Amino acid sequence: MSLQIISIILGSLTLASALMVVLSKHPVRSVIYLVITFFLITAMYIMMNAQFLAVVNMIVYAGAIMVLFLFVLMLLNLNKEVEPMATRGSQLAAFIAGGSLFLVLITALKDTLILGQSYRDNHSQIGLVKELGNLLFSKYIVAFELTSILFIAAMVGAILLAKRENQIIE
């Protein structure tokens, strides 16, 4: 019963902080709320016993990517006056479109087999580091190696894009 309360609190907090990401006017506050959202999603992974992904989510998302966002945001030195906002009509259109998307998704959920199934029933051990490591280094070894090429390409691309035109990197 207490587990139930914990998950409901987690879910509502996640949705509230995700809403604050969209609604807050200041971009730095959006980043902070996004970090909170990622931490709460990490807690949800732990609730579903996906321990490896919980750790990776915390380090990669809440750590690395969000710090990168914060750095760029502070590097650009924006002030509140230049913060662009959408017009009233396009905001209304976006809310209607998003609401209908949500309605379609919930309707698709209504008749699924998964409804009412507790995740405690099958005692899933699949999210542990041992199981995922076995899978990652046997079945998905080619994809795992290819990600290193992707990272090198992204690194070279980021440096090439962000350096100034007349600047030569030794």
Partner 1 sequence: MQAASSIGTSLDFYLFVSFALFTIGAIGAMTRKNMIVLLMCIELMLNAVNLMLVTFSTYYNNGDAQIFVFFTMVVAAAEATVGLSIIIMAYRNLKSIDIDMYNKLKN
Interacting positions 9-28 with partner 1 (CB under 8 A):
11, 14-15, 18-19, 21-22, 27
Does the footprint of partner 1 cover residue 162 (CB under 8 A)? yes
- Total residues in contact with partner 1, by rule CB under 8 A: 89
Joined tokens for residue 121: 């029933």
**Measuring CA to CA, which residue among 17, 140, 26, 36 is closest to residue 80?**
26
Residue type, 22: V
Distance CA 132, CA 127 (A): 7
Nearer to partner 1, 75 or 170 (CB): 75
Nearer to partner 1, 138 or 170 (CB): 138
Does the footprint of partner 1 cover residue 39 (CB under 8 A)? no
Among 43, 55, 109, 145, binds partner 1 (CB under 8 A): 109
Among 58, 64, 168, 170, binds partner 1 (CB under 8 A): 64
Interacting positions 124-143 with partner 1 (CB under 8 A):
124, 126-127, 131-132, 135-136, 139-140, 143
Reduce the DSSP state of residue 163 to 3 states and report it: coil
Does the footprint of partner 1 cover residue 67 (CB under 8 A)? no
Query: How crowded is the C-beta side of 27, counted as CA atoms within 13 Å?
Result: 18
Residue type, 135: L
Instruction: Give the Cα-Cα-Cα angle 17, 23, 25 (nearest 5 degrees).
Output: 120
